[in-house]
Structure 1
């Protein structure tokens, strides 16, 4: 194993990829479902503001609004039954737990210290992975392959402490630090953009309401803008850009401190303890994210 190698997703056990795929699919469905509900709500408000009679006095926009509400009802019932957010949160929790367990094994961190034989370490790994599966919601993740360590994990474990330490700092702590930093900036930027958009809608609402009150316009523009404002506020609450930006920034700072503390360790005993502490910190950040989403399974 060279300095450029790392534990890619394909180098982790199948259990990780199954949980990761379930989480990504749940995330996709949850976000799309929420977005569609908000779009339909705004569309209903727009159509409710106009009138166009057809046939024997039927109001076409009102009929379309009825269809929209029916579609929204069906979507809401589907989301309630399917609960894609459950797969998103629970699948991510299992995937991250498997990843941290695999890294602990691969770099000989507690409880997989280098003093253990290969057989002992692998037996302990399988036992810990089985516990993760037992604790995982059965409806979210279906295990499709036997548990066990991969060749890449085993190869990294068999390298010397210096190699394991440098690879871990670069490809685990370094990657996580970059990811959290990037996400912090991304969420801060999105939060700022959405706040500006909401301020613009509010300003337009003042103008629209004034025009409606003075009789300049007959269309219910204030109602449309109110619907847009409500949808934008709801989306901002769902995505939690501000909270996520702060959490990711804090995690990045924490990981930077951990990186500095690990780079000078040259004792297997000390390394096993501190590398395990680093994985605990990474797991803690994810636990805080999951808690902020109000997800605890069930």
Structure 2
């Protein structure tokens, strides 16, 4: 399914989460970049007074960004909006697959009302994200035509769609994230080793050429290496790769069960088991991020 085929509330929460994540990571990059620049400027200490003014400006700006990030906490909006979006997404798939609590009813209007109430309960339970969501309004429907069209399919067609567009899509996403995080982890570690190796090399050269060279950028290199270590810790590449790998295997095990689904009751149980698996991984991710930012 495309994003505009999901409820409007999902679209707002998803966009708000992406914006908050982008803002948070941008602020961190700016802080690291300014600290590296300050270390680089310090190489010219002893020159004109302007260099000290520029240094104060750079460090002051970095400090202001740190205070802003600590007070505004954009990462909290990122986590909360992501959690809200995923809750709506899993509820949407339950609705489309006619899974409990949105199983068949004599009147479709009854099920639609139940889904609408469910969305309101989710929003009320996440009232702390009303402000960021209000900045990303969506004019779409809360129950889209695509959702109703999928719900109207036969059991066999719904099973096939759930297999391809939900389970297999999720599995591909997790496998892709495993590869991406492991690749980024290796790349950043190698870069950090190179930077620290360069700092060691400069220190060794300084033993012999200390008087001949006036500039030794050892400190900026160490600040850069520290920033890389901090970035690796914030992004948790290795930890996420392991968690995503386990979830991908769990989804693979789920796929082996779907061929045995023959009735609406069996399918409802299967969908709820699958959605709980998806929700559990994301809930654990949010919990880890929140705990580490307390």
Is TM (by shorter chain) over 0.5?
yes
Contact 1:15–1:145 (8 Å) recurs in 2? no
**Cα deviation per residue 1:66-87 (whole Å; 9 max; x = unaligned)?**
1101111222233234322122
Cα distance between partner residues in 1 of 2:104 and 2:194: 60
Separation of aligned partners in 1, 2:84 and 2:93: 14
1:67 aligns with 2:61: no
CA distance in 2, matches of 1:155, 1:9: 16
Indicate whether 1:230 and 2:257 are aligned. Answer: no
CA distances 1:170-217 after superposition (whole Å, capped 9, x unpaired): 001111111111111001000001111111122222212222344534
Question: Post-superposition shift, 1:139?
Answer: 3.0
Q: Tell me, yes or no, if the aligned pair for 1:169 and 1:263 is still in contact at 8 Å.
A: no
Q: CA deviation at 1:239?
A: 1.1
Matches for 1:1-298 after TM superposition, within 5 Å: 7-51=1-45, 53-54=47-48, 58=49, 60-114=50-104, 117-136=107-126, 137=128, 138-142=130-134, 148-216=142-210, 217-294=213-290
For residues 21 and 73 of structure 1, what CA distance do their matches in structure 2 show? 29
| CA RMSD after TM alignment | 2.2
1:119 shift after superposition: 2.4
Looking at structure 2, the residues matched to 33 and 127 of structure 1 have their Cα atoms a distance apart, in angstroms, of 37
Structure 2's unaligned 5+ residue stretches are: none
- Please, what TM-score do these two structures have when normalized by structure 1? 0.90
Paired positions, count: 288
Question: Is the CA contact 1:262–1:275 (under 8 Å) kept in the aligned structure 2?
Answer: no
Q: Is the Cα–Cα contact under 8 Å of residues 212 and 218 in structure 1 kept in the other structure? A: no
Q: Distance in 2 between matches of 1:62 and 1:237?
A: 32
Instruction: Return the TM-score normalized by structure 2.
Output: 0.91
Task: Tell me which protein shows more helix as a share of its residues.
Answer: 2
Instruction: Report the secondary structure of 1:112's partner residue.
Output: coil
Query: Which of 122-131 and 156-165 deviates more?
Result: 122-131
